[in-house]
Amino acid sequence: MVFQKHQKLHITQSALSQQLQNIEKELNCELLKRSNKGVELTQEGEIIFSYAETIIELYNNMLSDIDKIKNDSLKEIKISSCSSVSEYLLPCTIHVYKNPIRMLDFLLRQRKQSRL
């Protein structure tokens, strides 16, 4: 099971085995139960596998966020409003909406209600 994964990783089985042994030495624990029936994860291996999945998911989310920035054509939002809305409602709304990852600029104009 585990050793068939080397093909998906594009590395040799011996290189995968060596990497696993290096991790086991570094962490001072066995990650796999090896037997003539096959290989399965130990409790420590399950923990490491769970963290590895989380790290991979975070990495993929990071790449997705970077891609969104590169491909997002919306860079500025212009808002015109009356004074009461721009003083009381918009600051909170913009604070909730503004995401430092997207790097949007907000341009606010305060106008009299008759000019909106």
Give CA angle at 34 (30, 38), nearest 5°: 140
**CA 86 vs CA 26, 74, 82, 114: distances in Å:** 57, 22, 6, 15
pLDDT for res 43: 96
Helices (H) and strands (E) in the chain, counts: 5, 4
Q: What is the mean pLDDT of each run of 10 residues along the chain (116 residues)?
A: 60 87 94 90 94 92 81 73 78 74 74 62
Domains of the chain: residue spans and CATH: 2-71 (1.10.10.10), 76-115 (no CATH)
